A and B are shown apart, each in its own frame.
Chain A
């Protein structure tokens, strides 16, 4: 089973919607009407908007619940500790927007002077409100976030995504295509059930020509606060991220152990890096953040507009 008809002529081609291989494709009507052919003007508009944003990082995972939002928020906190660095955190998880909770914001956009946050969570009037939207509407929201939010001069834009490889991911990559994304940080946990989804995510990155900055293995071992002995709650039965990264030739940025204080900090909307500066998890986060900064500085646009893919 393939994700597009075997000989999909391409949505922009003259044969779009009309070819023999288009029969049965759910997008056939759309392509035949010619609607798929015209490039979305928003892409150019977003490219313009993004000129003031130096580095763009996507935080991805094929798997849910591995710590993307936790990591995104703490990456943002870590970078923003330098008050001369302007950081923006965009949460494009439309159905499950966790970022407002994790950063402790109910509606304000600015967490600190140099850290701005945007999420659909801010647009919901009640915590019980469900965003039951189909793909096209979610795409529209993401487009609006990227095009209509006035980000200003930003050093790092971090985009937190939902799990999977679907509308939100395609939209984020497509709308930012002309604006040059530095790369993706991929989060996993050690067990194979996560890794099997993360391999797909890495494959997705390769497909859409999104550079992989590296992989973070989260929840990597638990140190009992009482006896200090380590247990692997999520055992790396197939070698964990280390083996996967070696096989797929992508960098392993680091391993973050499970510290119950992380969950607590997120519940309170506090930065774990500040709440537990001596935790091995904090040290791991800081090392990973530094590696990400190094990666980005190697790709410094330096005034010229590097067009991605």
Chain B
């Protein structure tokens, strides 16, 4: 099960980005999905690896829930979410017989599956692989970092929401990154204010300012604030392409900025 056993499966992947947060529910899967969509719109081939074993959200966000996963000689074939095959996805969600059945596994079993996901998915040629993680700093995170280490990931996008309770957990995530030698590409502050569609008043539903301050405290780049937009939530619920559908949305500039940062930092074409 060691990475060296199947060097081919990640050899065709140019850049690997992890999306992390100490805190649950801040929008890791949302940011992972939107980043993948934005990179696709920039003409790139993207893979998404969803290693949230207890709460695999991404299949639904890309409207491929329930799809079957096939095997080939090199391992599992990821599910393509579009005709052009520019986004492929692997998630434990595809392996569950019943979607409402809980995956009640302890650490060692989760580690085993994550190692398999990293090593045994036949990604082929990808410009970017986005790895969505569950909240926390535990088995899954250690397994994914250890198994990806030989492939020199570009780094981690760390997601928070503005309030202190999130920032409190995300500080620990930044410590985790430091401890395991994972570079932090930057901090994204999600759910950053809500503009009332009726009167345009902006309310800080989940407080304000935490993300930027966190980035400053930790000495890492602040990549932007993504405001709350029910159209974004709805797009994810219905598996629609928000980037294509809602370029006027207040959430669009920040999401584009994050994607642009990745494209600038790790352009495809350089080794």
Minimum CB–CB distance from B51 to chain A (whole Å) comes to 12
Within 8 A of B (CB), among A248-269: 258, 260, 263-264, 266-267
Q: Give the residue among A62, A94, A128, A225 with the most B Cβ atoms within 10 A.
A: A128
- For residue B102, CB closer than 8 A to chain A, the reply is yes
Q: Please, which residues of chain B bring their CB within 8 A of the CB of A39?
A: none
B interface footprint on A124-145 (CB within 8 Å = 1, 0 otherwise): 0001111111111010000000
- Contact code string B38-75 (vs A, CB < 8 Å = 1, else 0): 00000000000000001101001100000000000000
Q: Answer whether residue A235 sits at the interface, using C-beta atoms and an 8 A cutoff.
A: yes
B212-254: which residues lie under 8 A (CB-CB) from chain A? Answer: 228, 230, 233-234, 236-238
Tell me if B199 and A229 are in contact (CB < 8 A). Answer: yes
Q: Are A62 and B22 in contact (CB under 8 A)?
A: no
Instruction: From the candidates A26, A165, A264, name the one contacting B104 in the complex (CB within 8 A).
Output: A165
Q: Is B256's beta carbon under 8 Å from chain A? A: no
Q: Find chain B residues with CB under 8 A from A165 CB.
A: 54, 102-104
Interface size on A, residues (CB 8 A): 68
Contact A128–B169 (Cβ < 8 Å): no
B81 an interface residue at 8 Å Cβ cutoff? Answer: no
- A180 at the B interface (CB under 8 A): no
Do B104 and A207 touch (CB < 8 A)? yes
Query: How many residues of B sit at the interface, in one of the four size bands?
Result: 35 or more
Whole-angstrom distance between the alpha carbons of A133 and B137 in the complex?
Answer: 7
Closest to B232 in A: A233
Known: A196-B60, A233-B228, A260-B205. A134 touches B139 (CB 8 A): yes
User: Closest B-chain residue to A95, C-beta based?
Assistant: B136
Is B110 engaged at the interface, CB distance under 8 Å to the other chain?
yes
Decide if B24 touches A267 in the complex (CB within 8 Å). no
Does residue A193 face the partner (Cβ distance < 8 Å to B)? yes
Given contacts A65-B23, A193-B236, A197-B54, are A102 and B165 in contact (CB under 8 A)?
A: yes
Q: Is B99 within 8 A of A196, CB to CB? A: yes
Any chain A CB within 8 A of the CB of B107? yes
* A-binding segment of B11-19, B120-128, B147-155, B172-180: B172-180
Q: Does B100 contact A (CB under 8 A)?
A: yes
A208 to B101, CA, bound (A): 13
B164-A231 in contact (CB<8A): no
Contacts of A193 in B (CB 8 A): 29, 57, 60-61, 236-237
Contact of A135 among B29, B139, B204 (CB under 8 A): B139
Residue in A136, A138, A222 whose CB lies within 8 Å of B194: A222
Q: Are B54 and A260 in contact (CB under 8 A)?
A: no
Q: Tell me which residues across on chain B come within 8 A of A200, comparing CB atoms.
A: 54-55, 100-103
The docked-state distance in angstroms from the alpha carbon of A33 to that of B237 is 47
* Known contacts A64-B55, A237-B237; is-contact A267 B201 (Cβ 8 Å): no
A162 engages B175 (CB within 8 Å): no
Q: Is the interface of A mostly helix, strand, loop or mixed?
A: loop
The reply on B95 being an interface residue by CB < 8 A is: yes
Asked if A196 meets B175 with Cβ closer than 8 Å, knowing A162-B135, A229-B196, the reply is no
Most-contacted residue by chain B among A3, A138, A235 (CB, 10 A)? A3
Shortest beta-carbon distance from A241 to chain B in Å: 15
Q: Which residues of A contact B169 (CB under 8 A)?
A: 95-96, 98
Chain B hits for A129, CB < 8 A? 172, 175
Complex CA distance for A133 and B103, rounded to whole angstroms: 20
Q: Does B197 lie at the interface of the complex (its beta carbon under 8 Å from any beta carbon of A)?
A: yes
Please state if B108 and A27 are interface contacts (CB–CB under 8 Å). Answer: yes
Chain A window 173-203, contacts with chain B (Cβ cutoff 8 Å), 1 for yes, 0 for no: 0000000000000000101110011011101
Beta-carbon contact of A235 and B198 below 8 Å: no
A122 close to B (CB within 8 Å): no
B100 touches A203 (CB 8 A): yes
> Complex: how many Å from CA A63 to CA B54?
9
Q: A131-B137, A264-B207 are in contact. Are A164 and B55 (CB under 8 A)?
A: yes
Residue of B nearest to A139 (CB): B106
By a CB distance below 8 angstroms, the chain A residues around B238 are 237
Tell me whether A266 and B196 are in contact (CB under 8 A): no
Can you show 17 pairs from A to B with CB atoms below 8 A apart?
A26-B108, A26-B109, A27-B108, A65-B23, A95-B136, A95-B138, A165-B102, A167-B106, A193-B237, A200-B101, A207-B102, A222-B205, A227-B196, A231-B196, A233-B194, A233-B205, A235-B230
- Since A193-B61, A226-B201, A231-B197 are in contact, a sample of 9 more A-B pairs with Cβ atoms closer than 8 Å, ordered by chain A residue number, is A3-B103, A27-B108, A63-B24, A96-B23, A170-B106, A193-B60, A226-B196, A260-B203, A266-B165
Chain B residues in the interface with A (C-beta under 8 A)? 22-26, 29, 54-55, 57, 60-61, 92, 95-97, 99-112, 134-139, 141-142, 161, 163-165, 168-169, 171-176, 179-180, 194, 196-199, 201, 203-207, 228, 230, 233-234, 236-238
